[in-house]
């Protein structure tokens, strides 16, 4: 029996880096500057360079990066924030946490990113921000999002958690709008060994505010004076040291992910619905996950597992029908694309260390799994 192919096998990423990581950790532990130490500062600089932004501020996780962004822009009660309905729950948590109202838009059936016509139509006098999510590693159409927001003075905060290193019209995500939040959760294209996140912006005042909020809003001139209620949300030095080592490989890992995606595209053409493809000059995706669509998704998932191929679902329950959003009054049927796709989407194994033979094995397993099922419409 062949080995199980995991959705993401991080042990295979660790092995070639093991000695370097352990040596670096020893240095960190000998120096014992565990918060806001030299690795954190250096990583922030390196991340700002990657994102082509003036500032990058390391925080505890991606959810906090979104939350601190909401706070920094003084978004709160009475304000509306537009965001797509198929994404991870963190955006909504951040919006609700500051007392604002999430306003959902459907996902575009072709790109899976936020529907631009619905975004434009969702703008009201109370809209304070739009949070486009670069879902699955593909940038949202940021020129279009910015064009909707700018005339109304609406803030645009990219959720770039799934798109580290992705580009849009040649420019890196993270610097395509007013600011951006990145998760560096362990399973992301660039992941910590645990939790981490980072916030980017070109705005000095917003950067200063996020920098304070992550440290109990302590006054930089006197750390015992708390100028407002902040958070304990610093990126820690151990994670920063590991992230710096891994960052040197991100571009190569992302390039390999694109190769794998192209192999899947070719092998699965006409078998299942495959992800959207664009010219490289417009979009350079990083394939955080490779999502196919198939009408009998749960059967396919079970059959893949029986063939020792893991798969995932990003995400099975759209946000408007989540219990945490019940008070917002949305109904089933309001977001037909996201609702239909929630029952069809399936994420195939995707990580840089997958071999060509494994990609072929996955594709063959998908072909076998769907051979007697109805085709995707
Ligand atoms: C799109 C998106 N936004 C936000 C988050 C939240 O990040 P974290 O888990 O680091 O808090 C994640 C992932 O976890 C994500 O995929």
Residue 347 lies in a domain: yes
Residue 227 sits in the same domain as residue 259: no
- pLDDT class for 278, splitting at 50, 70, 90? confident
Residue 228 sits in the same domain as residue 257: no
Residue 223 sits in the same domain as residue 318: no
As a whole number, the mean pLDDT across the chain is 97
Q: Where is the domain boundary, 220, 242, 264?
A: 242
For ligand 1, mutation pick of 185, 189, 196, 350 (most atoms within 8 Å of CB)? 185
For ligand 1, mutation pick of 90, 132, 157 (most atoms within 8 Å of CB)? 90
For the cut 80, the answer to whether the pLDDT of residue 132 exceeds it is yes
Residue 56 sits in the same domain as residue 117: yes
Structural domain harbouring 263: 249-370
Q: Where is the domain boundary, 192, 224, 242?
A: 242
- pLDDT class for 271, splitting at 50, 70, 90? very high
pLDDT of residue 19: 98
Q: pTM here?
A: 0.97
pLDDT of residue 277: 87
For the cut 80, the answer to whether the pLDDT of residue 375 exceeds it is no
Q: How many domains does the chain have?
A: 2
Burial of 90 (0-12, 13-18, 19+ CB in 10 A): buried
Least Cα distance to 9 among 349, 342, 253, 241 occurs for 349
Pocket of ligand 1 (CB under 6 A): 61-63, 87-88, 90-91, 133, 159, 161-162, 183, 185, 197
Q: Sort residue 74 into left (φ over 0), alpha (ψ -120 to 50) or beta.
A: left
Residue 166 sits in the same domain as residue 192: yes
Residue 238 sits in the same domain as residue 190: yes
Residue 185 lies in a domain: yes
């Amino acid at each position: 029996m062949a080995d199980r192919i995991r959705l993401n096998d991080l042990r295979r990423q660790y092995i070639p880096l093991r000695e370097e990581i352990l040596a670096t950790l020893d240095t960190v532990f000998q120096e014992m500057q565990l918060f806001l130490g030299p690795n954190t500062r250096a990583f922030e600089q390196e991340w700002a360079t990657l994102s082509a932004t003036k500032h990058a501020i390391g925080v505890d996780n991606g959810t906090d990066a979104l939350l601190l962004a909401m706070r920094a822009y003084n978004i709160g009660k009475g304000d509306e924030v537009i965001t797509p309905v198929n994404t991870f729950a963190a955006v909504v948590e951040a919006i609700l946490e500051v007392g604002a109202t999430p306003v959902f838009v459907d996902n575009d059936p072709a790109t899976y990113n936020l529907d631009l016509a619905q975004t434009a139509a969702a703008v009201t006098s109370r809209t304070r921000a739009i949070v486009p999510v670069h879902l699955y590693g593909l940038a949202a159409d940021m020129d279009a999002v910015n064009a909707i927001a700018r005339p109304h003075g609406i803030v645009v905060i990219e959720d770039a958690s799934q798109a580290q290193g992705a580009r849009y019209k040649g420019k890196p995500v993270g610097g395509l709008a007013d600011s951006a939040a990145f998760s560096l959760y362990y399973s992301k294209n660039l992941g910590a060994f645990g939790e981490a996140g980072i916030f980017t912006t070109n705005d000095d005042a917003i950067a200063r505010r996020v920098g304070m909020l992550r440290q109990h809003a302590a006054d930089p001139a006197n750390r015992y004076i708390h100028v407002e209620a902040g958070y304990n949300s610093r990126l820690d030095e151990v994670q920063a040291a590991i992230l710096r080592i891994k960052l040197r490989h991100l571009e190569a890992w992302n390039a390999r992910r694109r190769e794998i995606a192209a192999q899947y595209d070719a092998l699965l053409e006409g078998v299942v619905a495959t992800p959207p493809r664009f010219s490289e000059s417009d979009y350079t995706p990083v394939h955080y996950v490779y999502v196919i669509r198939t009408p009998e998704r749960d059967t396919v998932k079970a059959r893949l597992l029986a063939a020792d191929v893991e798969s995932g679902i990003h995400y099975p329950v759209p946000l408007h029908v989540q219990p945490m959003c019940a008070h917002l009054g949305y109904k089933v049927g309001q977001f037909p694309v996201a609702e239909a796709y929630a029952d069809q989407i399936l994420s195939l194994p995707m990580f840089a260390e997958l071999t060509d033979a494994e990609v072929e094995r996955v594709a063959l397993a998908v072909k076998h799994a769907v051979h007697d099922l109805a085709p995707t419409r």
